Amino acid sequence: MQPILKVDLSTEEVSEYDIPYEWENDFIGGASLAARILYEYLTQELDPFSEESPLLFLNGPMSGTSGPTVSRFVVCGKSPATGLWAESNCGGFWGVELRKTGYDGIWVTGKAKSPKFLWINDGNLEIRSSEKFIGLDTYEIQEAIKEELNNPKVKVAGIGIAGENLIPSALILTDHGRVAGRTGLGAVMGSKNLKAIAVKGSKNIPVANEIEYKKLRSRANQELNKDNITKIVREMGTAASAEYFDYLGTMPKKYYRQGVMEGADNISGATISDTILTKFAPCHACVVACGRVVKISGADKEQKGPEYETLVGFGPNLLISDAEFVTRMGDLCDRFGMDTISVSNTLGLAFTLFELGHIAEKDTDGLQLNWGDKEVVEQLIPMIAKKIGFGAFLAEGALALGRRFGAEDEAVQVNGLELAYHDPRGVSGMALVYATSPRGGCHNQSDYFLAEIGKSEESLGIKNFDRQAGAEKAENVAIHQNYRTMANALVICFFGSINPELIVDLTNAACGLDLSIADYLEAGERAWNLKRAINNNLGLRRENDRLPKSLLEPLSDGGAAGYKIEFEEMLKAYYQARSWDWDTGIPSCEKLISLKLDFVTEDLYT
């Protein structure tokens, strides 16, 4: 891979960082490589908002090439939401443009004395004032910088008011609403007084074996075009399966407390396609084209359409079944620069606490938090971004809100990160995915919910189990996590339904490697354990591998009714599959050494 550009905003010193070759071989790229690079810097004492706190934007070895679903880059650091490892990847065109500057990453430290943005133009870096851009939203900042640079082709990744206000759910947005949404890295950017990073390049993107790569890329795209999942996602976006998830009881309603909701079928990719969809918005070179562009009534122009998590979060999660309203709330959050999962989840908790009597009108600035009340939701979102009144409590996230009102157990979160909308009572493997994800309650370290409904991959050794089976699927989950850890290392999109053998061939051609599927999975396992070790260093132990209380109770209705997750047994089997110590939650010394993570053992075992 190409060098990383290192910028210290305190001193305005700029240098190049060459990635050690052996690290590239062992960790490939993206989040895995970032974990290796940042390992020494992520200490328990490190304040995510301190000058020393690193913020690393990194590509994968296929990012920006002509390959399939390879537009993505990842942002990594220490999360202000969880205090743990943070990673969040993002599609669009920004990462592609970064590669064309001759750099594969930007490593930001320090804190600018006044608001700045970075302008990287073909290898030249300028640190420019962004004083006049403060308060702009995530779309306005893109336009303002393009205008200042007098170049509409510049790609800009920026933060909104939420990032400026250091809200733990603040995101980084680029292009047509593509976001690095989770773990609050927009707030880390804000803490550095860094409003945006603009990039423009013209250099060729390096590929080790270009002829072979092009051949494989054509094959992959041909296969993708014939693939059912591609067709489904292209036609209906990422919310294509919403109705099926509803049928299976995996789509949460009323903050995970209800299995059925009238009108839930109004909240689906199919409904969006039938009503407000105007066109698709693909990322760089992507044949899947999951991005939606919609036109809703009363709006003067088209806007980004919601994906699955946003649809459910501001829809059935809050007992709302109005797709146009949900679209507007998604856009509002994007513009303020807040993660829609975290915000909608925290709102769900607030409504729950109001219903249970933990919160009253005196706490909410007089607002009544009644389920399905769209007006209140719309009123609260700006209050969160601007930290106004009750909004300031919500801005802290679900865990903090629960603690503040003496009801921590009601928060549907793991390690400070609010859960995504795939209820493990309908797809039990997600219980382990949420509990053990290195970044808290997240579905993007393994989309095992799709494996549960049939998207298994035989070549990986993943077996089929009943979607509500128990401990017997623990090893499967671990394999799937290893597999998806590699996707996050290559920074390829989960929606590219490419068979694993072909992905490995593409990786080999891009990197000049000779990996087998087993090597590929081992590299995933290595990075999974490295991220675990980082979190162990940050204080994470077995008791952190938990599920929220409400998910341990069966639902009374819907497609998952009556099923109780036997979580402890599942976790024990998972620990065994991972060779993690049941008492401490730390990977065994033997496992770490077998994965060439010897350097980690010094910190964990001495």
Partner 1 sequence: MENIFPSNEWLQSLIDFLNNDPDYARIAKKWEGDIAFSVKADGPLKEDMNIYLDLWHGACRGGKILEETEELDAAFVLEAPYGNLVKILSGKLDPMQAMMTRKLIVNGSMTYMMRNIPTVLDFVRCARSVTDKVLEE
The angle subtended at Cα 62 by Cα 101 and Cα 429, nearest 5°, is: 130
CA 504 to chain centre: 23
Among 145, 450, 486, 570, binds partner 1 (CB under 8 A): 450
CB-nearer residue toward partner 1: 235 or 566: 235
The residue among 343, 327, 326, 330 whose CA lies nearest residue 385 is: 343
Question: What phi and psi values does residue 106 have, to the nearest 5 degrees?
Answer: -130, 125
Q: Which is nearer to partner 1, 226 or 362 (CB)?
A: 226
Nearer to partner 1, 231 or 386 (CB): 231
| DSSP-derived secondary structure for 371-411 | TT-HHHHHHHHHHHHTT-THHHHHHT-HHHHHHHTT-GGG-
Cβ count within 10 A of residue 416: 24
If the CB atoms of residues 243 and 339 are measured against partner 1, the closer one turns out to be: 243
Beta carbons within 8 Å of 167's beta carbon, 6+ residues apart: 184, 187, 338, 384, 385, 387, 395
Does 274 contact partner 1 by CB under 8 A? yes
By C-alpha distance, which of 482, 166, 421, 451 is closest to 268?
421
Q: Is the Cβ of residue 156 or residue 232 nearer to partner 1 in the bound state?
A: 232
C-alpha radius of gyration, the chain, whole number:
22
Indicate the residue type of 256.
Answer: Y
Which residue lies nearer to partner 1 by CB, 308 or 567?
308
Q: How many residues bind partner 1 (CB under 8 A)?
A: 30
Tokens at 207, concatenated: 């590929």
Q: Which lies closer to partner 1 via its Cβ, residue 143 or residue 458?
A: 458
Query: Token pair for residue 157?
Result: 């990744």
Judged by CB under 8 A, the residue of 55, 270, 318, 433 near partner 1 is: 270
What track of x and - describes contact with partner 1 for positions 375 through 414 (by CB under 8 A)?
A: ----------------------------------------
Q: Say which residues have a Cβ less than 8 Å from residue 22's Cβ, sequence separation at least 6.
A: none
Q: Taking the complex as a whole, how short is the minimal distance between the CB of residue 426 and partner 1, in angstroms?
A: 14
The answer to the question of residue 269 lying near partner 1 (CB under 8 A) is yes
**At its nearest, how many Å lie between partner 1 and the CB of residue 227?**
6
Q: Which of residues 218-257 bind partner 1 (CB under 8 A)?
A: 223, 226-229, 231-232, 235-236, 240-241, 243-244, 247
Nearer to partner 1, 124 or 218 (CB): 218
Closest CA to 510 of 278, 280, 215, 252: 215
Nearest distance, CB of residue 491 and partner 1, angstroms: 23
**Strands of the 124-129 sheet, one edge to the other:** 124-129, 116-121, 194-200, 155-158, 172-174, 178-180
Between residues 457 and 566, which has the closer beta carbon with respect to partner 1? Answer: 457
* Subset of 56-115 contacting partner 1 (CB under 8 A): none
Q: Rounded CA gap, 417 and 415, in Å?
A: 6
Give the nearest distance from C-beta 344 to partner 1 in angstroms. Answer: 23
**Closest approach of partner 1 to the CB of residue 454, in Å:** 3
456 counts as binding partner 1 under rule CB under 8 A:
yes
Binds partner 1 by CB under 8 A, chosen from 374, 455, 542, 572? 455
**Least distance in angstroms from the C-beta of 247 to partner 1:** 6
Interacting residues with partner 1 (CB under 8 A): 223, 226-229, 231-232, 235-236, 240-241, 243-244, 247, 265, 268-270, 273-274, 450, 453-458, 464, 497, 499
